[in-house]
Amino acid sequence: MAEATARGEILWRVASASLDQIGLLPGDVLACRAPAGGLETGAVVVAEVTAPDGEAVLIVRQFLQPSLLVTNASGANGVLNMRDRLSRIVGVLTRAFPAATGRRADAPGGVFHKP
């Protein structure tokens, strides 16, 4: 079970560099709220996506209207259309806590592991 903050956010730990170009790196902890209403383009989200083998996995991506989940990495990047796969947004980033010292704590996601 994920840990919750006093604000009701769920905490997730970043496990990949899929959003390293916007400052989110492996080991960072993200505080996310439940999605409510429409999402802004560029919002960082945690999504549950069904993999080809049928297993549900959690990923972190930037959301682009109307239904795209994209990476923003220094390496290869990918796009997932939520209409093409069983998927749902489970969290929207509100705060980030960097794992390494000397980095900004307000940086705006990769597969997540719960801390």
Residue 71 lies in a domain: yes
pLDDT for 107 equals: 43
pLDDT for 63 equals: 97
Give me the domain span that covers residue 99: 10-113
Checking if the pLDDT of 105 tops 80, the result is no
- Please name every residue paired with 31 in a beta bridge, in sequence order, or none if there are none: 11, 95
pLDDT 10s digits, 38-72: 899 999 999 999 988 999 999 999 999 999 999 99
Would you state the torsion angle of the CA atoms of residues 54, 27, 5, 55, taken in this order, to the nearest 10 degrees?
A: 0
Sign of CA dihedral 105, 106, 110, 111: positive
Residue 104 lies in a domain: yes
Residue 1 lies in a domain: no
Confidence band (pLDDT; 50, 70, 90) for 113?
very low
Residue 15 lies in a domain: yes
- Residue 57's CATH number: 2.10.109.10
Structural domain count, the chain: 1
Residue 103 lies in a domain: yes
pTM of the entire predicted model: 0.83
